[in-house]
Amino acid sequence: MPEQIYPYAVSKIRIKELNLLTKHELENLADEGNLDRIKSVLIDKDYNFEIIDKIENFENVLKNEHIKLYNLIKELIPEQEFINLFLCKNDYHNVKLILKAKIAGKEYKENLVDAGTIELSKIEENIEKEDYSSFSKYMQEAIKEIKNIPEYEKRPYIIDSILDAKSFEEMKEMAEGTKCEFLVKYVEKLITLINIKTFFRVARMFDCNKEMFNISYIEGGNIAKETFLESLGQDLQNSKLKYEGIKEIYDQAFYNSENFDIFCDNYIMDYMKDSKLKALTIEPIVAYIYAKETEIKNIRIILTGKLNNINSKLIKERLRESYV
């Protein structure tokens, strides 16, 4: 069966790519000492600062940019499962936030993301009533699993681990539903990277606790759970896990763990850049979503650094690779 083509959507995305911040532009912003000039550059890139009264509230600008991105993709791609693949992570974020806030008795509303597949009011209402029937099967399974763990309220990382795992399992199923190999491999790469992060976290912080790894492991990556479990407790420097086709990634996680998140983001960006050779299929649209989300992350790093008087050299070291 030939790949489905999206000539209008791809042509629209190619125009949008021209407005993405380049690596050089991002580094210039990191070097810029005047917040008004940074703001001016971002306004030229269509970031709407009129919705806030002061620069310290920039998160609302970035949230708005996310919503604009998702609305654009909804307009361009008719298949609901495609956009849901990118939106469902926001549902899981909101559920995690509400569950943990209820346990801690804290306010949470300003940190909710209003760009998921489920209305915020519906999520709040269903959690309050403990009626999860309208949630996806994966989210229902996650909540049931959490509630079955004794004293889960005292272990908030359990909520994060289980919901994160189920969110990626759901994303993998959605990706397979699109029958787009590029998208399936993208999700597989994400899952593999997260499982490697989990492996090192459990080895270093939880004394190789296999129960903890079992809870956090995500199905659907390129390395089986058994391989990770066998490697827990082995000498990390010479673990057989590194020879499962992930030596570069493994060495980064072992020797440069403080920058591993940056490495992972750049690793995925390198994969996304392959889509530049595609003319009409869905790959450029997937890549643009990742590119725009990475740009938003980079702007957050820059503005947070500037507002906290972080040295520009340190800010630039934290920046992720640009798509353009």
The stretch 160-181 carries a mean pLDDT of 94
Give tens-digit pLDDT for 250-300: 999 999 999 999 999 999 999 999 998 888 999 999 999 999 999 999 999
Handedness of CA 178, 182, 185, 191 (dihedral sign): negative
Residue from 324, 319, 191 nearest 266 by CA: 319
Give tens-digit pLDDT for 66-85: 999 999 999 999 888 888 99
Lowest-pLDDT range, 74-78, 95-99, 138-142, 166-170? Answer: 74-78
Residue 156 has a pLDDT of: 84
Residue 266 has a pLDDT of: 98
Residue 199 has a pLDDT of: 96
Q: What is the 3-state secondary structure (H, E, C) of the chain?
A: CCCCCCHHHHHHHHHHHCCCCCHHHHHHHHHCCCHHHHHHHHHHCCCCHHHCCCHHHHHHHHHHHHHHHHHHHHHHCCCHHHHHHHHHHHHHHHHHHHHHHHHHCCCCHHHCCCCCCCCHHHHHHHHHHCCCCCCCHHHHHHHHHHHCCCCHHHCHHHHHHHHHHHHHHHHHHHHHHHCCHHHHHHHHHHHHHHHHHHHHHHHHHCCCCHHHHHHHCCCCCCCCHHHHHHHCCCCHHHCHHHHCCCHHHHHHHHHCHHHHHHHHHHHHHHHHHHHHHCCCCCHHHHHHHHHHHHHHHHHHHHHHHHHCCCCHHHHHHHCCCCCC
Measure CA 74 to chain center: 19
Average pLDDT of the chain is: 93
> Residue 315 pLDDT > 90, yes or no?
yes
The stretch 218-241 carries a mean pLDDT of 93
Burial class (CB in 10 A: 0-12, 13-18, 19+), 175: buried
Q: Where are the domains of the chain?
A: 1-77+282-324, 83-175, 180-279
Give tens-digit pLDDT for 39-71: 999 999 999 999 999 999 999 999 999 999 999
Residue 2 has a pLDDT of: 58
pLDDT band at 91 (very low <50, low <70, confident <90, very high): very high
> Residue 206 pLDDT > 90, yes or no?
no
Q: What is the pTM of this model?
A: 0.93
> Residue 1 pLDDT > 60, yes or no?
no
Give tens-digit pLDDT for 101-121: 988 888 888 888 888 899 999
* Amino acid at residue number 73: I
- Rounded CA Rg of the chain: 20
